[in-house]
Amino acid sequence: MCGIIGVYGVPSASKVTFFGLYSLQHRGQESAGIAVFDGKQVRHYRGMGLVSEVFDEKILQELPGEIAIGHVRYSTAGSSTIINAQPFCVNYAKKTIALAHNGNLVNAESLRCELEEEGHIFQTTMDSEVIVHLIVKHLKEGLVEAISKAMEKIKGAYSVVMLVDGTLVAFRDPQGFRPLSLGMLNGGYIIASETCAFDLLSAEYLRDIAPGEILVIDENGPQSFFPFEKRERLAHCIFEFIYFARPDSTIFGKNVYLVRKRLGEKLYEECPLTADFVMPFPDSGNYAAIGYAAEGRLPFEFGVIRNHYIGRTFIQPSEKLRDLSVRMKLNPVKELIRGKEVIVIDDSLVRGTTSKNRIRSIKLAGARAVHFLITCPPLRFPCFFGIDFPSKQELIAAKHSIEEIRKFLDIDTLYYLSLEGMLSAVEDLSDKVCTACFTGDYPIPVHQPFRKDFAEVK
């Protein structure tokens, strides 16, 4: 997964982009990059690591201009190299094109083969590069025409910002898998994956970039184009609400915190338990745990405390210290937990390994009984549209029954929110979301085997 930003007509655009990326850091921690146009040329800078590690005052000063794009990339098992960091920049016919992409194409491999047969040479293993080649191929026909032709070919999830010299462009796939919003700052424009970036910059949220829209911002102001006549089935990623997006963001027209709180309320409606208290695994379970406790009029406690200052660690804990990595991030409050029956809420169960260790640590802290409730149904199918889920083999619920998982986790109760319950929490969006990771019902047919080393998850 990734986070993207576009800035138009704002002084020190690279600094504004830097702060915007800062607030999107949760969408990607592997690499960060900014490309900026100063009226004459596009300059760019990319590096591995967090936004604050990659950029400093001096680097940002060397990126002058009022039009910029930025990108943060999620760490995946695939090739994590600077070559695959974005924005991706190419020179073509005296223009510089810089592109930042969030999402995942499902037909990138076949398109890449076609393009290679036509003589296109690729520099990276990213599917985003396929988008650039397709646009460049038709650029003579005009920018909007070229993007429309590329959009006709590419299938999958893409929220994109692009800089073509002095023009900022944003476009989004017709299903609207990933969020993308437009805001205004001091008469200029900001485009961001999530609205939390607008809040940090004191920008005003205007609207979402619509599914299937191409938005061009140049000296004539913003202009919208809709190349697709047929309206596709909308497929906003519901996992953005469950786990990925920041709770202070409004995505797909709904505030993430409030959706998570409703997920907790629905959990209580479906599985009303009593215990000494309700606690989340922070931070992902916090808001649903608040909803569950409020709905059931149950005490709420932070039974485990999160350390927010964990960077990357290259030290593998020895067998003796095998709980170290768990305790480094979450440490139980023993005095609170000892002898207590607890209801633990978390957003999702993916492989089951982290949860097993976390549950073990609260049992070691003396919990008498543990009821573990999850705010979504069992994850049984891989995501082809940008969420970094492991393969089907590694998804615990793809291979094991709920009772088997309960035994594996060594807990008293395991309950997953039903599909209906989850959908009711997103209210009127319930028929406009992608739930393929739970149901296997992919909104776009996925023909080819998914190769992560090629289709980097962004």
Cite the active site residues.
Answer: 2
Residues 229 and 210 sit within 8 Å (Cβ to Cβ):
no
- Would you give the binding string for ligand AMP spanning residues 323-362, x where CB under 6 A is met? -----------------------xxxxxxxxxx-------
Q: Please say which residue, 63 or 245, places its beta carbon nearer to ligand AMP.
A: 245
Pairwise CA distance, residues 171 & 149, whole Å: 12
> CA 414, 419, 421 angle in degrees (round to 5)?
85
Three-state SS letters, 244-309: HCCCCCEECCEEHHHHHHHHHHHHHHHCCCCCCEEEECCCCCHHHHHHHHHHHCCCECCCEEECCC
Pick out residues in 374-433 that bind ligand AMP (CB under 6 A). 387-389
Question: The tokens 């205004």 sit on which residue?
Answer: 184
Cα atoms in the Cβ-side hemisphere of radius 13 Å centred on 279? 26
Cis peptide before 87 (omega within 30 of 0): yes
Task: Give min distance, CB of 115 to ligand AMP, in A.
Answer: 30
Question: The tokens 């969020």 sit on which residue?
Answer: 179
Pairwise CA distance, residues 142 & 93, whole Å: 13
Q: Please say which residue, 216 or 237, places its beta carbon nearer to ligand AMP.
A: 237
Pick out residues in 239-278 that bind ligand AMP (CB under 6 A). 243
Pairwise CA distance, residues 170 & 162, whole Å: 6
Q: Please say which residue, 12 or 331, places its beta carbon nearer to ligand AMP.
A: 331
Out of 281, 287, 372, 438, the residue judged to bind ligand AMP by CB under 6 A = 281
Short-list 11, 68, 8, CA closest to 42: 68
Q: Please say which residue, 213 or 346, places its beta carbon nearer to ligand AMP.
A: 346
Q: Please say which residue, 35 or 373, places its beta carbon nearer to ligand AMP.
A: 373
- Phi–psi pair at 206, nearest 5 degrees: -100, -55
Task: Give min distance, CB of 138 to ligand AMP, in A.
Answer: 35
Task: Give min distance, CB of 63 to ligand AMP, in A.
Answer: 32
Task: Give min distance, CB of 90 to ligand AMP, in A.
Answer: 31
* Ramachandran quadrant class, 197 (left: phi over 0; alpha: psi -120 to 50; beta: rest): alpha
Residue 307 neighbours by CB distance under 10 Å: 10
Task: Give min distance, CB of 74 to ligand AMP, in A.
Answer: 9
* 4 three-class SS: strand
Q: Please say which residue, 153 or 351, places its beta carbon nearer to ligand AMP.
A: 351
Which stretches of 273-399 are assigned E, i.e. beta strand?
277-280, 304-306, 330-332, 341-346, 369-374
Residue 443 neighbours by CB distance under 10 Å: 20
Task: Give min distance, CB of 352 to ligand AMP, in A.
Answer: 5
**Residue burial 377-416, b: 16+ Cβ < 10 Å; e: rest:** bbbbbbbbbbbbbbeeeebbbbeeeeeebbeebebbebbb
223 touching ligand AMP, by CB under 6 A: no
Task: Give min distance, CB of 389 to ligand AMP, in A.
Answer: 5
Task: Give min distance, CB of 140 to ligand AMP, in A.
Answer: 41
Q: Please say which residue, 295 or 388, places its beta carbon nearer to ligand AMP.
A: 388
Q: Please say which residue, 12 or 325, places its beta carbon nearer to ligand AMP.
A: 325
Residues that bind ligand AMP (CB under 6 A): 243, 281, 284, 346-355, 387-389
